[in-house]
Amino acid sequence: MSLPDEHFCPVSESLFGRLYRSSPEGLATLVETVPPDTRAMLAYYCSRRAHLESLSLVIAATCTPEQLYDVAGRAGWDLHSRAQAEAKKATEPPKPKSRHGVTLASGPLWKIPDIAE
Q: What are phi and psi of 101, to 5 degrees?
A: -90, -170
What is the predicted pLDDT for the residue at 98? 65
* Domain ranges (residues) in the chain: 13-91
pLDDT at 113 over 60: yes
Judge whether residue 27 has pLDDT over 70: yes
Of 78 and 23, the one with more pLDDT: 78
Residues in the chain, overall count: 117
Task: Write the CB contacts of 24 (distance below 8 Å, at least 6 apart in sequence).
Answer: 58
pLDDT at 106: 78
CA distance 40 to 60: 7
Whether the predicted pLDDT of 3 surpasses 70: no
Half-sphere exposure of residue 64, counting CA atoms within 13 Å on the CB side?
Answer: 6
**Interval 43-80: pLDDT, tens:** 999 999 999 999 999 999 999 999 999 999 999 999 99
Give the pLDDT confidence of 79-108 residue by residue, as tens digits.
999 999 988 887 766 666 666 667 777 777
